Amino acid sequence: MRLFVSEGAPGSLPVLAAARRAQGRAELLISTVGPEECVVPFLTQPKVPVLQLDNGNYLFSTSAICRYFFLLSGWEQDDLTNQWLEWEATELQPALSAALYYLVVQGKKGEDVLGPVRRALTHIDHSLSRRSCPFLAGETESLADIVLWGALYPLLQDPAYLPEELGALHSWFQTVSSQEPCQRAAETVLKQQGVLALRPYLQKQPQPSSLQGRAVSNEPEEEELATLSEEEIAMAVTAWEKGLGNLPPLRPPQNPVLPVAGERNVLITSALPYVNNVPHLGNIIGCVLSADVFARYSRLRQWNTLYLCGTDEYGTATETKAMEEGLTPQEICDKYHAIHADIYRWFNISFDIFGRTTTPQQTKITQDIFQRLFSRGFVLQDTVEQLRCEQCARFLADRFVEGVCPFCGYEEARGDQCDKCGKLINATELKKPQCKVCRSCPVVKSSQHLFLDLPKLEKRLEEWLENTLPGSDWTPNARFIIRSWLRDGLKPRCITRDLKWGTPVPLEGFEDKVFYVWFDATIGYLSITANYTDQWERWWKNPEQVSLYQFMAKDNVPFHGLVFPCSALGAEDNYTLVSHLIATEYLNYEDGKFSKSRGVGVFGDMAQDTGIPADIWRFYLLYIRPEGQDSAFSWTDMLLKNNSELLNNLGNFINRAGMFVSKFFGGYVPEMVLTSDDQRLLAHVTLELQHYHQLLEKVRIRDALRSILTISRHGNQYIQVNEPWKRIKGSEADRQRAGTVTGLAVNIAALLSVMLQPYMPTVSATIQAQLQLPPPACGILLTNFLCTLPAGHLIGTVSPLFQKLENDQIESLRQRFGGGQLEESLELKAKVSSKPAVGETVTATGPQQIQVLMDEVTKQGNIVRELKAQKADKNQVAAEVAKLLDLKKQLALAEGKPLETPKGKKKK
Amino acid sequence: MAAAAELTLLEKSLGLSKGNKYSAQGERQIPVLQTNNGPSLTGLTTIAAHLVKQANKEYLLGSTAEEKAIVQQWLEYRVTRVDGHSSKDDIHALLKDLNSYLEDKVYLTGYNFTLADILLYYGLHRFIVSIRVAGFFSVMFRMIFLS
């Protein structure tokens, strides 16, 4: 038999590694062909590697070739191996070819590459750790290991693309890679050039189809209905029956909140917003709102929680703004601090403190840390060349210079950091620098400055990271950013500036200078706490008892994960360092970026004027939280999610459950006699609740929100199947059944109100008031589903929770805030006008409406089929199909099912 | 044809009496089979091969090492190329390739009818209309009627 390979074809890796199995069984000749040579006569597209068998037939599938070699060695096929190979071909390969294309052909890096494969890598990791076998299909290395190893090797051989938190994947990959045949295959194919060896081949390949027509997806991952064991059901029932008696007493509110020995003490910070920018939705979801959800969750767990934030007020930008508005910097800060505080109050952010950085405490603590660093030899002095704008007669702060990025060539790089490649820049390195204020070209002048000696602290930092990262909940992007910084090596960073508006430098010869904001902004967390309580050191110099969670967008990771820890480690004062660094990706607006100058996007203060309640904003922003990948705010999507998930799913369920209690049982929760079906539902809800806890403990805020919606979907189905509104009119047994279903449903609604509290605090309080949920049950969330509304409990007045968002309302908001394409809005209007009459009646969704819609769908389906059978005019068919799709959509909405939005140009 | 319906059809033609229940997973609605003794199985061809073994008709998976590898290759082709096609041109190209492969063969492995023929037939079923229009896919036709 003859094996055809091509230089740099990734398929050669597993094939060569597997070929050893066939040694001595058959003679194998290897021929190298060009990447575009058609070896297989019946295939139109070139394909390598290919194995020509002795009878003339061809194996052109990489897995099939490997399988053949294994079969020759006497190996027997099994289900688990088949399953892995099918998964490899259908799931892993499309994701992997996209990642390799980005990396090798397009030269992208980081999350762009890792993003497409992350889910697949996690799947492998979970399977390995769940089965606790060293290999994919058992105790020994086998076909599945070779095929997956070969597919993954080009990417994972670079440690930057082997996420550390995937421990099981890590050790599996190392084990397989160290096998001799694999080592040899890797050397032959990659020739020690790493992934670049694949370049000549991949460049000649068509763009992977998985890349085409891919849009940012806000859609949830699939929900699997887990299988339940008898024990799980029994445990869920026991917990349920204990009811309110299971709840511990509510923790009385403390002021100030201080750490308590022996308890879980959670300190939460949100990145400090810069004072003179009004935050946009991306800022809000990236820091304050995400941190708020976690803080509220943490309090529901009865953990001792302190959540703080504040405005970052020093720096040139404030000075400039003050000049513009004819105020002093302090007055500007006072004014904008109030604007920020108002916005966050409107969004219902539950800060324990919302402080600011321009306080005497800030000066005291910053100077203390500096003195400690200075006396320990971690501060260097050097002459700096700095950009000075002669026209404005001042040194330009980094963010006041723009130019071409020296690393990636991006044209609008800021003086401190490039928005495109994310690298930190020294302003003088910018090509074609421009003063951002007057657009003239600044000149370079020199002056004396102080530097933090990061190279000297690097070793301590690495030791600390080694102890902190494993087992922590640092987000993958944060780990990645820190790792790439350390790989490039740390350099001394300048910590002083020629400015007045800042923390004074306590050193002779530096009287007219202040600290650079990025040195002292992160110290703001400490000083804000110090303004809250004089015992602030119990939080900040107490790493043994305090878990510190810091929330931010990914551009802030270097300062929190690297620079501040270096300062704190160098100061040697037992500071509390970040245990969990939670960084989001970016949120885009419609198809572009938020832009204050172009007036595109929604900013914090404007959200209030839209007439949409804060909780709806919170819900939607959290639903699309850029967790793991960038996401996009879209008006149309917001309307859909409000109308389908909130109105028709969650709101509909909670409202119906409460209404049944009011209407059929006079407001008293009826007796519940659980059947085995009800017990299964209890167990499913418990399982989903536990899933919610697992996710939130890992700060996977967006995913945990899906659990809430899943429970209410279960609830809706439960009501729909059991039809309590019919049974209540039936026999004694029927009425008892109606009571059980209603009682269980209203208890699920009560549970949902607590789970919802971190996300939608106002709606949660409304539900709890409607149900008259007892106070301990409102303030504590256990890992088990309890009966908190026992039989005989009297509920309050039930009313609808959500309002429908209308197309024209959303359309006018979209126009007001810019963004979105003209075509798109035209299309939307067209849709609105051609909507069939039945569409407008589906606001309240009883079973009757659903039935009406189902009939309509069937009818319309028949019309379409008939037309198609008659080979009718294309346009006519298309029009009828459009009607059918619209009806199906309405039906889905009415049933509270998630909408299937068309993705790409996939058919069927 | 939904994957579950296809597997039920396969069960019948294999003479398996006890009907299995299938759930579907994810955007592509991948079938999942919950087995009595052990973990669930995921994926159309994985479950199909499992059913064949259950029915004691292993010969449908190929008899020699070579045949076994070829059967699995075409099963993979079915789930990646036939199910994963993205355009009319794609369908055209794959039908043309298949046609030229089958020029000198009765079945995908040569002379023996296997699971690969069954699943490829099921997978291609929905293109039959276009085959009729295209006219010249005589070999495909033969395959479809023989099976």
Residue A94's closest chain B neighbor by CA? B80
- Are A746 and A738 in contact by the 8 Å Cβ rule? The answer is no
Q: Dihedral sign, CA of A770, A771, A774, A778?
A: negative
pLDDT for the residue A851: 63
* Contact by Cβ (8 Å): A148, A183: no
Q: What is the pLDDT of residue A570?
A: 96
What is the H or E stretch that residue A389 is in? strand A379-389
The per-residue pLDDT for A690 is 92
Question: Within an 8 Å CB–CB cutoff, is residue A132 touching chain B?
Answer: no
State ipTM. 0.92
pLDDT of residue A226: 60
CB burial of A582-608 (b: ≥16 within 10 Å; e: otherwise) equals: bbbbbbbbbeebbeeeeebbbbbebbe
Q: Does A895 score more than 80 pLDDT?
A: no
> In terms of DSSP bridges, do strands A265-270 and A304-311 run parallel, antiparallel, or are they unpaired?
parallel
The string of pLDDT tens digits covering residues A304-340 is 999 999 999 998 888 888 888 889 999 999 999 999 9
Domains in chain A, ordered, with CATH? 2-203 (1.20.1050.10), 216-246+659-805 (1.10.730.10), 265-367+523-611 (3.40.50.620), 819-894 (no CATH)
A21 touching B (Cβ < 8 Å)? no
A363 vs A55, residue with greater confidence: A363
Partner residue opposite B73 with nearest CB, options A59, A72, A86:
A59
Choose among A846, A818, A775: nearest CA to A596: A818
State yes or no: pLDDT of A615 exceeds 70: yes
Q: What is the CA radius of gyration of chain A?
A: 31
In B, minimum Cα distance to A73 occurs at: B65
pLDDT of residue A831: 35
What is the tens place of the pLDDT at every residue in A702-719? Answer: 999 999 999 999 999 899
- CB contact A848 to B (< 8 Å): no
Any CB–CB contact under 8 A between A212 and chain B?
A: yes
> How far away is chain A from the Cα of B100, in angstroms, using its nearest Cα?
5
- The answer for A 616-675 residues in CB contact with B (under 8 A) is none
pLDDT-based confidence at residue A228 (cuts at 50, 70, 90):
confident
Tokens representing A104? 């090798």
Residues of chain B contacting residue A64, judged by C-beta atoms under 8 Å apart: 69-70, 72-73, 76
Cβ contact B42–A83 (<8 Å): yes
CA distance A473 to A630: 19
Mean pLDDT within A763-769: 97
d(CA A663, CA B48): 52
Backbone CA torsion sign across A751, A756, A761, A762: negative
What value does the mean pLDDT take over residues A11-29? 87
- Render pLDDT for A861-884 as a digit per residue (tens, 0 to 9): 777 777 766 666 666 777 777 777
Q: Which two tokens stand for residue A468?
A: 């902190």
Partner residue opposite B43 with nearest CB, options A60, A71, A87: A87
Q: B62 near B68, Cβ under 8 Å?
A: yes
CB B74 within 8 A of CB B143: no
Q: Report DSSP letters for A341-386, one per residue.
A: HHHHHHTT---SEEEES-SHHHHHHHHHHHHHHHHTT-EEEEEEEE
Is the pLDDT assigned to residue A843 strictly greater than 50?
no
Task: Using the predicted structure, report yes or no on whether residue A844 has a pLDDT greater than 60.
Answer: no
Indicate the residue of A60, A209, A222 with minimum beta-carbon distance to B27.
A222
pLDDT in tens, A160-206: 888 888 888 999 999 999 988 999 999 999 888 888 889 888 888 87
Predicted pLDDT of residue A222? 41
Chain B interface mutation, best of A58, A90, A119, A209, highest count of B Cβ atoms under 10 Å:
A90
Q: Residue B133 — very low, low, confident or very high, per pLDDT cuts 50/70/90?
A: very low
Determine the pLDDT at residue B138.
44
CA distance A131 to chain B (A): 10
> What average pLDDT does range A656-667 have in this prediction?
96
* pLDDT exceeds 70 at position A554: yes
Best of B45, B54, B76, B111 to disrupt the A interface (most A CBs within 10 Å) is B76
Q: What is the mean pLDDT of residues A264-293?
A: 92
**pLDDT score of A752 more than 60:** yes
- Give A465's pLDDT tier (boundaries 50, 70, 90): very high
CA separation for the pair A23, A28 (Å, rounded): 8
Question: Pick the residue with more confidence: A249 or A268?
Answer: A268
A380/B contact by beta carbon, under 8 A: no
Residue of A nearest to B27 (CA): A222
Is A61 strand, coil or helix?
coil
Closest CB to A89: pick one of B66, B80, B100: B80
Q: Does A26 touch chain B (CB under 8 A)?
A: no
Which of A456-465, A512-521, B13-22 is least confident? B13-22
What's the average model confidence in pLDDT over A72-83? 92
Q: Average pLDDT, stretch B10-20?
A: 84
Q: Averaged over A435-462, what is the pLDDT?
A: 90
Min Cα separation A394/chain B (Å): 58
For A377: left if phi > 0, alpha if psi spans -120 to 50, otherwise beta; the answer is: left
Beta carbons of B12 and B55 less than 8 angstroms apart: no
Other CB atoms within a 10 A radius of the CB of residue A245 amount to 7
Burial of residue A743 (CB within 10 Å: 0-12, 13-18, 19+) is buried
User: How distant is the Cα of B92 from the closest Cα of chain A, in angstroms?
Assistant: 11
pLDDT for residue B65:
92
Interchain pair B26, A64: CB under 8 A? no
Mean pLDDT score of chain B? 81
Whether residue B79 and residue A90 make contact (CB cut-off 8 A), yes or no, is: yes
Which residue in the set B23, B84, B100 is minimally distant from A42, CB to CB? B100
Chain A: give the shortest CA distance to residue B73, in Å.
5
According to DSSP H, which parts of A56-136 are helical?
Answer: 62-72, 79-87, 93-100, 111-131
- Residue A842 clears pLDDT 50, i.e. is over it: no
Closest CA to A293 of A725, A702, A886, A751: A702
pLDDT digits (tens, 9 = 90+) for A518-544: 898 999 999 999 999 999 999 999 999
pLDDT at A217: 39
pLDDT band at A356 (very low <50, low <70, confident <90, very high): very high
Q: Which residue has the higher pLDDT, A845 or A195?
A: A195
pLDDT at A830 over 80: no
Q: Between residues A891 and A120, which one has the greater pLDDT? A: A120
Length of chain A: 908
Cα B15–Cα B17–Cα B20 angle in degrees, nearest 5: 110
What pLDDT score does A400 carry?
Answer: 80
What pLDDT, on the 0 to 100 scale, is given for residue A84? 96
- Between B41, B77, B93, which is nearest A83 by CB? B41
Cβ within 8 Å of residue A337, ≥6 positions away: A275, A311, A313, A356
- Which of B80, B93, B97 minimises the CB distance to A90? B80
Contacts of A906 in chain B (CB under 8 A): 86
Rounded Cα distance between A763 and A767, Å, is 6
Cα(A286)–Cα(A132) distance, integer angstroms = 36
| Contact residues on chain A for B72, CB-CB shorter than 8 A | 61, 63-64, 67, 77, 82, 85
Q: Which residue of A has its CA nearest to B84?
A: A90
What pLDDT does residue A270 have? Answer: 97
0.80 cut: is pTM over it? Answer: no
* Cα separation, A685 vs A688, whole angstroms: 5
Q: Which of A166-170, A360-364, A426-430, A609-613 has the highest mean pLDDT?
A: A360-364
Min Cα distance A26 → chain B (Å) is 12
**CB proximity list for A870: less than 8 A, separation 6 or greater:** none
Between B28, B69, B96, which is nearest A64 by CB? B69
Asked if the model's pLDDT at residue A899 lies above 70, the reply is no
**Measured between beta carbons, which residues in chain B are less than 8 angstroms from residue A227?**
34, 40
Question: Could you tell me if B23 lies within 8 Å of chain A, comparing CB atoms?
Answer: yes
Neighbours of A676 (CB within 10 A): 8
pLDDT at A75 over 80: yes
pLDDT classification of A730: cutoffs 50, 70, 90: very high
How many CB contacts within 8 angstroms connect chain A with chain B? 101
Question: Residue A401: its pLDDT value, please?
Answer: 86
| Per-residue pLDDT reduced to its tens digit, B38-63 | 678 899 999 999 999 989 999 999 99
Nearest to A57 among B25, B34, B70 (CB): B70
- Nearest-Cα distance to chain B for A404, in Å, is 40
Query: What pLDDT, on the 0 to 100 scale, is given for residue B70?
Result: 96
Say what the pLDDT of residue A384 is: 83
The alpha carbon dihedral of A604, A606, A610, A613 has a sign of: positive
For residue A219, which residues of chain B lie inside 8 Å, CB to CB? Answer: 27
User: What residues of chain B lie within 8 A of the CB of A147, using their CB?
Assistant: none
Interchain CB contact of A45 with B (< 8 Å): yes
Nearest to A61 among B76, B87, B103 (CB): B76
Which residues in chain A have Cβ-Cβ distances shorter than 8 Å to B73? 59-61, 63-64
pLDDT reading at B136 higher than 60: no
For the record, the structure tokens of A822 come out as 């003209």
- Does A53 contact chain B (CB < 8 Å)? yes
Q: What is the mean pLDDT of chain A?
A: 86
The SS3 call for residue A520 is helix
A210 inside 8 A of chain B by CB: no
